[in-house]
Amino acid sequence: MEWKQLVGIYHRDRDKQPGQTVILFEKDRRLLLQPRGAPEKTQEIHGVGGSVLITEPDGSVQAYTEHRTDNGTVNSFWESGTVDKMESVVPVRHLYIREDAGADPAHYFHITPATPVEQLRAAALAAKPPAEAGPFRKPELVELAPLDPAIHLDIRYAQSNNFLGTPVYTQARAFLQRPAAEALLRVLHKLQPLGYGLLIHDGYRPWYVTKIFWDATPAEGKIFVADPQKGSRHNRGCAVDLTLYDLTNGKPVEMTGLYDEMSPRSFPDFPGGTSLQRWHRDLLGRAMESEGFNVNEEEWWHFDYKDWKQYPILNVPFEQLHGAARAN
């Protein structure tokens, strides 16, 4: 099934608990609902006289009032209320407006921190990572660029073209723990015969940078950043952010969304975009998964190596990694 128009994606958050994520689509002027990651549960949303009842993934029933254009296309709808056990509607008023998630990608992935990044950096450097019990493997970070000429770098956090709009790293380098780095090299060798190389956006990330990201990101965007109190798999040297590039011209291929884009297009199961964009995204995913990496459920570009739990959270700045292990 090919979805024609994305109506909206929203998160439900009841009692400050993590909510359900639901995708709403329109096809042939019909509204359809799909719990994210469960395309087999797609259902049509039926309504009479503009009133719509939706049974959501958590079992609750929501009442909606839809609004259509003159040609019958839904352009907005109100969440009218929650249907209680007595089948009466408890009023709530939330308006959902139709939008094209890919129309203006720059709208999604830039944020303006309430506190300047340099102030956040000073606070993060003074803080300490969470204590961990272990035991852990001894870290052995390997620099990625020297492994193969077909590994290219585009370290966005060392530049200004990232979601914070300012450099956060002091050096444009990328590292992974040795087993993960060797697995990534095998991924590259599988993709090269198909005409693709790997473009690395990020690898090992010192813990203090994770804290900067968390403190800089507003509440509605924290789904896309790691909680420093739990640590990031990037902090363990077992996560990599990457995409494909065309070996013939060196240009990145087009994916369904942009790197670090804080929008539904970042989801690895986002059904929008072109068929070629989805094919490239899925090709990268299959190649990575074949060598022990798992895609992050919120970010198509983020992959965690299977052994990440065996490594500690690290907070070593890049400047102190001059002696890090390199390719044999």
pLDDT, tens digit, 9 for 90 and up, residues 64-120: 666 666 665 555 555 555 555 444 444 444 555 554 444 444 444 577 887 889 999
Residue 61 contacts residue 55 (beta carbons within 8 Å): yes
In total, the chain counts a number of residues equal to 328
pLDDT at 199 over 70: yes
| Residue 13 pLDDT | 34
Cβ atoms of 109 and 217 closer than 8 Å = no
Distances (CA, A) of 303 to 8, 163, 278, 306, 318: 26, 19, 17, 9, 21
pLDDT at 163: 84
Confidence of residue 232 (pLDDT cuts 50, 70, 90): very high
Describe the chain by its helix, strand, coil percentages, rounded to 5: 25, 30, 50
Burial of 59 (0-12, 13-18, 19+ CB in 10 A): exposed
pLDDT above 60 for 245? yes
Cα separation values, 245 from 100, 252, 280, 323, Å: 26, 4, 10, 29
Supply the pLDDT for residue 6: 41
- Cβ-based neighbours of 61, under 8 Å, separated by 6 or more: 53, 54, 55, 82, 83
Q: What local confidence, expressed as pLDDT, does residue 8 receive?
A: 42
Lowest mean pLDDT among 170-184, 241-255, 314-328: 314-328
Mean pLDDT over the full length of the chain: 78
8 Å CB contact between 265 and 106 = no
> Is residue 201 over pLDDT 80?
yes
Average of per-residue pLDDT across 153-181: 93
Would you give the end-to-end CA distance of the chain in angstroms? 48
Could you tell me which of 36, 63, 105 has the C-alpha nearest to residue 263?
A: 105
Instruction: Tell me how far apart the alpha carbons of residues 258 and 136 are, in angstroms, rounded to a whole number.
Output: 34
Strand 196-202 relative to strand 239-246, pairing: antiparallel
Q: What pLDDT, on a 0 to 100 scale, did the predictor assign at position 225?
A: 83
Q: Give the lowest-confidence range in 2-11, 145-154, 172-181, 291-300.
A: 2-11
Q: Are 158 and 205 in contact, with CB atoms under 8 Å apart?
A: no
281 pLDDT more than 60: yes
